């Protein structure tokens, strides 16, 4: 696939989820996103009010993560976190599903967990992405996670938090795209460090990329 830098930028969620990120770091992340006109800035929920203010007047969206990075917080907590972040300016929410329950094949619980967050997010007119954390999953579990996310009403499925043993893999992205077809978006996240890697993920089926190496990717 051939994309201009401007076109590629709109695939990117410029991400800063570092636990030691300071206010200055987050402001710099926002400045980089505005400079390159990325799709969004993705941050932990604490920073959403600051990011919303920094991005005002731009086409870059503030987005946040929920149940991050383990997915093991209870559903009510995920719902509260999502609603609060949206009230503070988030346009999209990336939630981590309950990984252990997915591996344990408790699909009813996984679906219900996602559904309650999806309903809260959609009630406010925003988008929900569901993080599977594919590094822990086999192919059957990836398919099951995608199917549960679709049944629950999610808008995207996403590979990874970037905090596990591995990030996005081309085969996983392709499998996710095959499973959801054109009905959901697919976000590849974690370990994407170059323009070549970014384009390969898009070729495999990704419609959004979560990256912290945005400046390098768009400068390559």
- Which residues are annotated as catalytic? 94, 158, 187
Give the whole-angstrom CA distance, residue 54 versus residue 139. 40
Cis peptide leading into residue 69 (ω within 30°):
yes
Residue 163, SS3 per DSSP: coil
Q: Which residues contact 210 (CB under 8 A, 6 or more apart)?
A: 12, 13, 15, 42, 94, 158, 160, 162, 187, 188, 189, 190, 192
181: left (phi over 0), alpha (psi -120 to 50) or beta: left
Give the whole-angstrom CA distance, residue 16 versus residue 173. 22
Q: Which two tokens stand for residue 6?
A: 């401007």
Give the whole-angstrom CA distance, residue 106 versus residue 111. 9
Nearest Cα to Cα of residue 98 among 114, 116, 83: 114
Give the whole-angstrom CA distance, residue 14 versus residue 42. 6
Partners of 220 in the beta sheet? none
Residue 30, SS3 per DSSP: helix
């Amino acid at each position: 696939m051939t994309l201009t830098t401007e076109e590629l930028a709109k695939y990117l969620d410029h991400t800063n989820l570092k636990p030691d990120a300071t206010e200055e770091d987050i402001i710099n992340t926002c400045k980089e996103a505005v400079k390159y006109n990325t799709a969004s800035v993705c941050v932990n929920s604490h920073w959403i009010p600051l990011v919303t203010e920094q991005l005002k007047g731009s086409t870059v969206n503030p987005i946040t993560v929920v149940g991050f990075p383990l997915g093991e917080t209870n559903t009510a907590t995920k719902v509260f976190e999502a609603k609060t972040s949206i009230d503070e300016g988030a346009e999209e929410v990336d939630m981590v599903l309950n990984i252990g329950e997915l591996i344990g094949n408790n699909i009813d619980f996984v679906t219900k967990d996602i559904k309650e967050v999806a309903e809260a997010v959609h009630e406010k007119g925003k988008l929900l992405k569901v993080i599977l954390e594919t590094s822990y999953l086999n192919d059957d579990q990836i398919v099951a996670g995608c199917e549960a996310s679709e049944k629950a009403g999610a808008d995207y499925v996403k590979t990874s938090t970037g905090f596990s043993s591995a990030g996005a893999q081309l085969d996983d992205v392709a499998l996710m795209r095959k499973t959801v077809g054109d009905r959901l978006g697919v976000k590849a996240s974690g370990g994407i460090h170059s323009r070549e890697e970014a384009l390969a993920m898009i070729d495999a089926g990704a419609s959004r990329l979560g990256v912290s190496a945005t400046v390098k990717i768009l400068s390559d």
